[in-house]
Chains A and B, each alone.
Chain A
């Protein structure tokens, strides 16, 4: 059983605060690390797919980094807005490429 862990489980921040959360995953048999954003009553939406050690990806105010050697990825949100409130999921894809193994998610709540 692959161990993909996310921390913290939940996070409350004020509008305008910057925040970050962590995803840890197995460092062996790595192929890709996916980040998803899941708003209530909607489908999980893909944010990033990261494959290279040291990679950094950015979409608007959200960015992510990847360290495959030590098995972690950080997701950063700069200047959080209430519409950023969602559960952020990371998922590990091994080099067999059969499926995504998800972490438990970080639930972010941004207060106006």
Chain B
């Protein structure tokens, strides 16, 4: 297991189309996060999972966005009816949080979405 893997690396889609991204976290990590990064900004939190449970969801995440993590392993992020403002880098990260203390989050290389 070499790290967090995201697919695809790049996606170009027409406005109005649906897109789905996948994230495979480091296998023993129980937490999985999705972030979005636009040009000139730091990553913005979208949502996170503890195992298969989606525990928090940002107000940035409109109804067109949905994320799942079935079986607590890989996760998918779907954007329905894409808009040009959805164009961004979508980053996935995972960490192991044993309940006490904190560990660092490991990031994937991201999926760059361009909506035309």
Contact = CB atoms under 8 A, between A and B. Distances in A.
- Are chains A and B native binding partners rather than an unrelated pairing? yes
Interface of A: 4, 6, 9, 31-32, 34, 36, 41-46, 49, 51, 89, 91, 93, 97-105
A98 B56 CA distance: 8
Contacts of A4: 42
Interface string B36-57: 0000111111001000000110
B73 interface: no
B40 A97 contact: no
Contacts of A9: 40
Contact of B107 (A43, A49, A93, A104): A43
Interface stretch (B12-20, B64-72, B76-84, B98-106): B98-106
A36 B37 CA distance: 14
Interface of B: 3-4, 33, 35, 40-45, 48, 55-56, 91, 93, 97, 102-110
Contact of A98 (B35, B40, B48, B107): B48
A31 B42 CA distance: 20
Nearest to A45: B107
A99 B45 contact: yes
List the 9 closest pairs (A to B, CB-CB), nearest first: A102-B42, A46-B104, A43-B107, A44-B107, A104-B42, A99-B45, A102-B43, A43-B109, A105-B42
Nearest to B91: A44
A49 B3 CA distance: 19
A13 B2 CA distance: 33
A100 B33 CA distance: 9
A42 B9 CA distance: 11
A91 B43 CA distance: 9
A100 B105 CA distance: 9
A102 B42 CA distance: 6
